[in-house]
Amino acid sequence: GENVEQHPSTLSVQEGDSAVIKCTYSDSASNYFPWYKQELGKGPQLIIDIRSNVGEKKDQRIAVTLNKTAKHFSLHITETQPEDSAVYFCAAIFGSSNTGKLIFGQGTTLQVKP
Amino acid sequence: DAGVIQSPRHEVTEMGQEVTLRCKPISGHDYLFWYRQTMMRGLELLIYFNNNVPIDDSGMPEDRFSAKMPNASFSTLKIQPSEPRDSAVYFCASSLRVAFTDTQYFGPGTRLTVL
């Protein structure tokens, strides 16, 4: 079935350390993998995404890696800051771009301690 | 642009009452989505529209739920009658040209509590 597993559910790091969140997906045909950040009381906001034709994408302190063979992808945040504290969701597309759906992981609560 | 606008931000109602949630998508966006977020089930897609036409409502949990999009700038999600298990945060989102590989912009959500 359509499933995205996300780990860990909570993650606490010291400011300046790196944080890694991992996701696995069930459909080998999935080809689009966004990551969303949700701050308290707000809606999710896209922070980075990756498509299946690349293995890694970076945007300043954030990077995402994709291993299609193993069907898993990861979010890496370097030099974490207190404002990185939030809930992070991975997602994978199941079906086509316009008639499929995004399936979200259960979320990871990241706490960055000053 | 003001982003996706949702109202009300909080709604408390009693079981059996009708609840209407409202959404204004970003101007010019072709797609509008309604999601529900709970601790148990996470973020779930309920229904989405393309150019005001419902495309997939397979995520709508029961016939008590209905959604409409009478024009490009307004959508409603209605629950009638409401039940305590409907308590959740409901998000509206919109995307520009492609449903699931264009960025989905989420509104701030409506926190619904059914007593």
pLDDT tens, position by position, A93-113: 998 887 888 999 999 999 999
**A27 exposed, middle or buried (CB, 10 Å; 0-12, 13-18, 19+)?**
middle
Distance from CA of B98 to the nearest CA of A (A): 6
Are B56 and A101 inside 8 Å of each other by CB? Answer: yes
Tokens of A74: 């990861």
User: B9: which 2 tokens?
Assistant: 């931000």
Q: Which residues of B touch A46 (CB under 8 A)?
A: 103-105
Per-residue pLDDT, A59: 94
Q: Is the dihedral of CA B99, A96, A77, A113 positive or negative?
A: positive
Q: Which of A32, A98, A109 is most worth mutating to test chain B (most B CB atoms within 10 A of its CB)?
A: A98
Mean pLDDT over A32-44 rounds to 96
d(C-alpha B97, C-alpha B112), whole Å: 30
Interval A76-102 mean pLDDT: 93
| Residue spans of chain B under pLDDT 70 | 1
| pLDDT at position A1 over 80 | no
Identify the pLDDT of residue B67: 98
pLDDT of residue B59: 92
Binary contact (A43, B103; C-beta < 8 A): no
Work out the minimum CA distance from A81 to partner chain B, whole angstroms. Answer: 24
Residues A83-92, mean pLDDT to the nearest whole number: 97
